[in-house]
Structure 1
Amino acid sequence: MIVYKFGGASVKNAEAFRNVLHILTTVPTTEKILVVVSAMGKTTNALEKVFGQAFRQEDYSHALQEMRHYHQEIAQELFPATDHPAYASLQNQFTYLEDALQTVQPHDFDRQYDQIISVGELLSSLLLHHYLGSRGFQNQWLDCREYLRTDATWREGRLDWDWTEQQIQQHLPAVLQESPIITQGFIGRTAQGATTTLGREGSDFSAAIFAYCLQAESLTIWKDVPGLLNADPKLFRDTIRYEEIAYQEAIEMAYYGASVIHPKTVQPLAQRCIPLYVKSFLHPDQPGTVIWNCQHDRIAPSFILKQHQCLLSFHTKDFGFISEQHLSSIFQALSKHRLKINLMQNSAISFSTCVDADEARVEALKAELAQEFVILYNQPLHLFTIKNYDQASLEKLTSGKEILLEQRSRQTFQFVCRPTQDFPH
């Protein structure tokens, strides 16, 4: 039993769909396989644009038509016969999307967001299901919302692990005996039937959930990079590939913002010692990287960048010390407004934290704490992290930058700075 996860870049056009078919046909017929697929290309971004316009009561018809055209063009390349069932599946999803957009109200943003944005994964998985079937690769389409139950934390649903594991173990092994399964990443459903999402880029986590619950032999994430690299090749030059890496190291890299892996992906795999392979869908014969229960010496430094950051500094209004009570108020407000702490530092009279620059959430946080604190902030900023740093890597990354805040431990160095023009490195 294995799980494959294909990201948006691996199903961005008709040729990419053909490549997915090629990869799947290399899997031995004795293997049971479950495939998790993300929304195609930049569809999630397109849906966010459409939903944002609808939420602001603006005309979204052009953006919606562009997205419809994108999917229809790919369908026409994959299915020359205009009466192929794939077209009816697409139409059903766009009909739902149009109806949902017409009822969007200018409040309750997060709940409505999940009902709209989730359509992307349904579109891609249905197209892949129909395409594979048309090429003789028998498979079954599965609505993952029937099996992944979450609470009503919109845009970052918290999984009900016990219910989810019971459902998957009870029903899916028998389904997999018949043929491979094609399903969605990123989405789930509450007990009351409302669609939820698991957080941006959450499809990796979905695949890990299925792998954990099915006690899979392995999970493979197919990316447009040759494996787990020590830096994002779009941002940094001279990257290197790790051949293998331990679970704990990968969890920390994901926590700090490494873009290849969703932060929640590795933990459930580590609990059951399920290897995670990161491989290139462009070069599927290459070895990629395996993340598993291994031991290794100090590895090459990894460079991680989080852009669009906001640095918040809290000062007491009476110039008093920052006490545990003050910290409690700040942490509770950060949690309430779902602002993840990416870096924090405490001094005698101030507390500073770096968070994602989500304007609405930051403004809500500032409004709540304005009576208690003087709040200063800077944005937009960059947050760099160097894991397993050495002196050469420190000098390479900090040279020429205006550093506003820095922090280091034995293996990790982080600093917040203003964006510079000499990027990438």
Structure 2
Amino acid sequence: MQVFKFGGASVKDAAAIKNLSLIVQNYQKEELLIVVSAMGKTTNALEKLTAAYINKTDEVHAVFTGIKTFHHQIMAELFAPSNPVFDEVENTFVEIDWLIEEEPHDDPHFIYDQIVSIGELVSSRIVTAYLNQTGVKSRWLDARGLIQTDNTYREGLVDWELTRKNISETVPQLLQNEVLVTQGFLGGTSENYTTTLGREGSDYTAAIFASCLNAPSVTIWKDVAGVFNADPKRFENVLKFEQLPYSEAVEMSYYGASIIHPKTIQPLQNAGIPLFVKPFLTPKESGTVINAEEFLVKVPVIIVKTNQVLVSVSSKDHAFITENHLSEIFKTLAGFHFKVNLMQNSALSFTFCVDFEAARFKQLQQKLKQDFKFRYNLEVELLTVRHYETPLLQELSAGKTILLEQLSRNTAQLVIKV
């Protein structure tokens, strides 16, 4: 069997969905489970809708109308008006209609998951309908009833025992007769509420299904030819890896390489399942395979994380930063679901770099300012270079304002003012 994951770029419009169908038609003789992301920039639009709803601004209905119009235009290019998919998608959007007519829930993370999850639910409906229309017998599968998580909204923690039981008892017999199309990024709680697995978590979904099904491989279809040592959209003369060990892929994803979600590798590595990253526009190309074969990566790997904020906290009475202070800081960061991308401590302060998100950052600032002095720099980037060489670091940082530099044996990180 095969597990395929198609990201937002590979289902961004009608032409992309037609291309997806052509790829799938080449694998009709195999059992196939497909995981899809929301279409194009839909997740961003749904996040904007969530913020408008929580803040009770006037643009709620305009933003939502734009999201619905975008999807209806794609469906109009793919289907006759009588196709049942129009009603299926409209019924899915009704869930938001009902929600935004009510007062916002006390937990903004809960609201986020209930609204933003609609993107994957709609895209998977459209993809399923189009595959059936093109002769690929397909079934829509609700991931929320299979991937069980706790109530940590926006970062649902998977109950692996229950999830494995759900998938292994349900999916194999369905795969015998139809291609299954399900949603990336989504899980469900024991109370039947929707959770999400973390931003860009569709890769992780594919890994979960593959692990539970003992699949021979997972293929992630991207708009690039494979995994490169740097983003080809930002750097020249980049090198494509034909193969990477799990360990290097974990490091790259941890430091922010956008090609793979950070949680994806572990379940595949534990099960010994190789991961292929292939280009959806040229599917016959080899792409990159990530597997258990260990070898030393000899070229520098450059990773840039944008939209960062650099924070320094210190005690109000000029006391040393102790383990008790650090424990309190990390507890607060975890409570607001911040992942620390870099950290450094001195006698009197603790400095860290995290992704900037205005609403959550304001909450973090308010909480930490109760007990600490709180300073920060916005509009910074985090540059990470694996297997660095000094001349390369000098070239990458030339003429730039470096706010913080940290070097280890194998990894260099620079916080750069944009």
| Counterparts of 1:270 and 1:393, CA distance in 2 | 31
Conserved in 2, the CA contact under 8 Å of 1:314 and 1:352? Answer: yes
Conserved in 1, the CA contact under 8 Å of 2:229 and 2:299? Answer: yes
Q: Percent identity?
A: 47
**Corresponding residue number in structure 2 for 1:175:** 174
Q: Which runs of 5+ in 2 are unaligned?
A: none
Conserved in 2, the CA contact under 8 Å of 1:50 and 1:64? Answer: yes
**Corresponding residue number in structure 2 for 1:323:** 322
Conserved in 1, the CA contact under 8 Å of 2:105 and 2:111? Answer: no
Q: Does the residue aligned with 1:325 lie in a helix, a strand or coil?
A: helix
Give the deviation of 1:366 after TM superposition: 2.9
Detail structure 1 runs of 4+ shifted over 3 Å in the superposition. Answer: none
**Corresponding residue number in structure 2 for 1:26:** 26
| Counterparts of 1:15 and 1:368, CA distance in 2 | 47
Question: Structure 1 stretch 1-10 or stretch 308-317: which is displaced more?
Answer: 308-317
Kindly provide the amino acid, as one letter, of the partner of residue 326 in structure 1.
Answer: H
Alignment of 1:321-360 (within 5 A): 321-360=320-359
Alignment of 1:122-141 (within 5 A): 122-141=121-140
**Corresponding residue number in structure 2 for 1:311:** 310
| Counterparts of 2:124 and 2:204, CA distance in 1 | 17
Give the deviation of 1:371 after TM superposition: 4.0
C-alpha spacing 1:70/1:366, structure 2 compared with 1 (3 Å): closer
Q: Does the residue aligned with 1:178 lie in a helix, a strand or coil?
A: coil
| Counterparts of 1:186 and 1:248, CA distance in 2 | 23
Give the deviation of 1:330 after TM superposition: 1.5
Q: Does the residue aligned with 1:5 lie in a helix, a strand or coil?
A: strand
Q: Does the residue aligned with 2:224 lie in a helix, a strand or coil?
A: coil
Kindly provide the amino acid, as one letter, of the partner of residue 213 in structure 2.
Answer: L
2:244 is the counterpart of 1:248: no
Alignment of 1:86-105 (within 5 A): 86-105=85-104
Conserved in 2, the CA contact under 8 Å of 1:51 and 1:101? Answer: no
**Corresponding residue number in structure 2 for 1:11:** 11
**Corresponding residue number in structure 1 for 2:76:** 76
Give the deviation of 1:302 after TM superposition: 1.1
Alignment of 1:229-308 (within 5 A): 229-308=228-307
User: Under a length normalisation based on structure 1, what TM-score does the superposition of the two structures give?
Assistant: 0.95
| Counterparts of 2:101 and 2:362, CA distance in 1 | 28
**Corresponding residue number in structure 2 for 1:423:** none
Conserved in 2, the CA contact under 8 Å of 1:143 and 1:183? Answer: yes
User: Under a length normalisation based on structure 2, what TM-score does the superposition of the two structures give?
Assistant: 0.97
**Corresponding residue number in structure 2 for 1:222:** 221
**Corresponding residue number in structure 1 for 2:200:** 201
Kindly provide the amino acid, as one letter, of the partner of residue 27 in structure 2.
Answer: V
| Counterparts of 1:362 and 1:73, CA distance in 2 | 36
Kindly provide the amino acid, as one letter, of the partner of residue 393 in structure 2.
Answer: L
Q: CA RMSD in A?
A: 1.4
Deviations 1:308-334 (A, max 9, x none): 111111222232222212212212221
Kindly provide the amino acid, as one letter, of the partner of residue 12 in structure 2.
Answer: K
Deviations 1:362-418 (A, max 9, x none): 332333333432222111211110011112321221111111111111110001110
Kindly provide the amino acid, as one letter, of the partner of residue 77 in structure 2.
Answer: E
Aligned length: 417
2:34 is the counterpart of 1:35: yes
